[in-house]
């Protein structure tokens, strides 16, 4: 394959957003030159399946979603283990850490995010486990295979923290969760739904310390000490951090793109530069369903945004329209979040726990319109809720119905 310094399309980031964009471009433009540059040395793999790999349920090779010859077949030049360090918009040029300079006609930013670093005193010197890449998964798998009778601490109360809890418990660690929030998934769930999660933690002997503010993390011959403002001193052999995802926007800001927590795009996933698009976890895009800017961290969103951005880069004008959803299994609970689930975005909430079960549904309304839904063990409600949210259905006249375990939510389509 010839490797010129000019490409019609350059994609920064070889994750799912970048690869789906490259494939969409190829499907629409048979002859264009396309290149992907990615900082990670691996071919596209599934981050979603990493937990299964860590638990030993699948083999390492099953994580990979593309082989080298898939890129060759599509005539996509792939540069792995190479980081883009500068963008010069005037010259339509990018520079890499290998001192390579490439020119583009259209550029896609699909750089995802990196785990936020814990900044408390001592955290820099103690080995904090994180869970973002295949390397992290290798490390975790090796650690968990050893088993333990010791303790583990999980810092944070989000999705990655959830994975750590289950890993540690299943490997025999006595596990504690420490979080400044009053309950797990505090930004999403009301306290009633959170109670089901807490009950599940208790059933699995997970100690939960909420409203706990870590002031230091330090190592001693006894182990790792996690100390809080509330005078807790938890000693552990391992510590896993799941404190959010940070998007590295400095390079894009320096290039003159509009950024905030991510890179701003419009509903076509185009940035403030007509020749530059953004997709996936890095894109802070204008969402036409919720009529506001959104920043997501889900696989399906990254895949669909990559595809839409790729098509638009070839000259189409497709509005990105999608209702986000995320599901996770945890200690036998099946938790789904559909739509815009931040509690702070809702002005009223309709809650329902099915009697004597762990089934729960929480609907978030904004001015009567269904904005988001949280489900525990209610997979049958997921699709209909996605449709209702997409259609911006006003559910005010059904508030009483939606509080009854006997009302079938599918009636709302009528």
Rule CB under 6 A: say whether 304 interacts with ligand FAD: no
Rule CB under 6 A: say whether 25 interacts with ligand FAD: no
Rule CB under 6 A: say whether 16 interacts with ligand FAD: yes
Please give the Cα distance from 309 to 316 (Å, whole number). Answer: 9
C-beta of 407: minimal distance to ligand FAD in Å? 29
Q: Which of 84, 152, 239, 388 binds ligand FAD (CB under 6 A)?
A: 84
273 phi, psi to nearest 5 deg = -110, 125
Please give the Cα distance from 236 to 225 (Å, whole number). Answer: 7
x/- site string to ligand FAD, residues 98 to 137, per CB under 6 A? ------------xxxx-----------------xx-----
Alpha helices, DSSP H, located in 266-395: 299-313, 382-390
Q: Which are the contacts of 123, defined by CB distance < 8 A and separation ≥ 6? A: 117, 217
Helix or strand holding residue 168 (H, E): helix 159-170
Rule CB under 6 A: say whether 298 interacts with ligand FAD: yes
Nearer to ligand FAD, 12 or 217 (CB): 12
C-beta of 317: minimal distance to ligand FAD in Å? 22
Rule CB under 6 A: say whether 48 interacts with ligand FAD: yes
Q: Which of 38, 130, 228, 265 binds ligand FAD (CB under 6 A)?
A: 38
Rule CB under 6 A: say whether 156 interacts with ligand FAD: no
Please give the Cα distance from 365 to 345 (Å, whole number). Answer: 8
Q: Which of 9, 13, 200, 257 binds ligand FAD (CB under 6 A)?
A: 13
Rule CB under 6 A: say whether 333 interacts with ligand FAD: no
Rule CB under 6 A: say whether 9 interacts with ligand FAD: no
Angle at 376 between CA 174 and CA 367, to 5 degrees: 125
Rule CB under 6 A: say whether 290 interacts with ligand FAD: no
C-beta of 96: minimal distance to ligand FAD in Å? 7
C-beta of 284: minimal distance to ligand FAD in Å? 12
Total site size for ligand FAD, rule CB under 6 A? 31
Q: Which are the contacts of 321, defined by CB distance < 8 A and separation ≥ 6? A: 267, 288, 289, 390
Rule CB under 6 A: say whether 141 interacts with ligand FAD: no
Rule CB under 6 A: say whether 83 interacts with ligand FAD: yes
Contact range with ligand FAD by CB under 6 A, out of 36-44, 203-211, 231-239, 371-379:
36-44
387 phi, psi to nearest 5 deg = -65, -45
Q: Biggest alpha carbon distance in the chain?
A: 65
Please give the Cα distance from 85 to 392 (Å, whole number). Answer: 41
Q: Which of 11, 25, 37, 409 binds ligand FAD (CB under 6 A)?
A: 37
C-beta of 280: minimal distance to ligand FAD in Å? 2
C-beta of 59: minimal distance to ligand FAD in Å? 17
User: Is residue 217 a contact partner of residue 372, using CB atoms and an 8 Å limit?
Assistant: no
Rule CB under 6 A: say whether 50 interacts with ligand FAD: yes
Q: Which are the contacts of 221, defined by CB distance < 8 A and separation ≥ 6? A: none
Question: What does DSSP say about strands 34-38 and 6-12: parallel, antiparallel, or unpaired?
Answer: parallel
CA-based R_g, the chain, Å: 23
How many CB atoms within 10 Å of residue 62? 13
Contacting positions for ligand FAD (CB under 6 A): 12-18, 37-40, 47-48, 50, 83-84, 110-113, 131-132, 280-281, 297-300, 302, 326, 328
């Amino acid at each position: 394959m010839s490797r010129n310094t000019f490409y019609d399309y350059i994609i920064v980031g070889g994750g799912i957003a970048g690869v789906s964009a490259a494939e969409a471009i190829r499907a629409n433009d048979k002859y264009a030159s396309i290149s992907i540059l990615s900082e990670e040395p691996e071919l596209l793999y599934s981050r979603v399946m990493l937990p299964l790999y860590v638990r030993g349920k699948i083999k390492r090779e099953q994580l990979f979603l593309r082989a080298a010859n898939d890129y060759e077949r599509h005539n996509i030049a792939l540069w792995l283990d190479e980081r883009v360090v500068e963008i010069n918009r005037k010259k339509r040029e990018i520079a890499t850490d290998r001192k390579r300079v490439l020119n583009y006609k259209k550029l896609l930013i699909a750089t995802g995010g990196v785990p936020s670093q814990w900044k408390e005193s001592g955290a820099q010197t103690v080995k904090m486990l994180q869970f973002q890449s295949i390397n992290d998964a290798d490390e975790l798998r090796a650690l968990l295979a050893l088993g333990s009778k010791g303790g583990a601490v999980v810092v944070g109360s989000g999705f990655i923290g959830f994975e750590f809890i289950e890993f540690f418990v299943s490997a025999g660690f006595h596990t504690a969760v420490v979080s400044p929030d009053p309950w797990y998934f505090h930004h999403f769930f009301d306290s009633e739904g959170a109670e089901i999660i807490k009950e599940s933690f208790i059933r699995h002997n997970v100690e939960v310390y909420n409203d706990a503010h870590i002031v230091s993390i330090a190592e001693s011959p006894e182990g790792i000490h996690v100390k809080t403002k509330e005078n807790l001193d938890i000693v552990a052999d391992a510590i896993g951090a799941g404190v959010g995802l940070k998007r590295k926007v400095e390079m894009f800001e320096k290039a003159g793109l509009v950024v905030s927590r991510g890179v701003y795009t419009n509903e076509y996933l185009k940035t403030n530069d007509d020749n530059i698009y953004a997709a996936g976890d890095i894109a802070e895009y204008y969402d036409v369903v919720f009529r506001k800017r959104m920043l997501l961290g889900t696989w399906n969103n990254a895949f669909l945004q990559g595809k839409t951005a790729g098509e638009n880069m070839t000259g189409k004008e497709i509005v990105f329209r999608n209702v986000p959803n995320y599901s996770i299994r945890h200690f036998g609970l099946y938790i789904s979040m559909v739509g815009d689930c931040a509690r702070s975005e809702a002005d009223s909430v309709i809650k329902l726990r099915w009697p004597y079960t762990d089934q729960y549904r929480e609907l978030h309304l904004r001015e009567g319109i269904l904005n988001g839904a949280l489900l525990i063990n209610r997979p049958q409600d997921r699709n209909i809720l996605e449709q209702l949210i997409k259609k911006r259905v006003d559910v005010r006249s059904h508030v009483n119905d939606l509080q009854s375990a006997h009302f079938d939510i599918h009636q709302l389509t009528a």
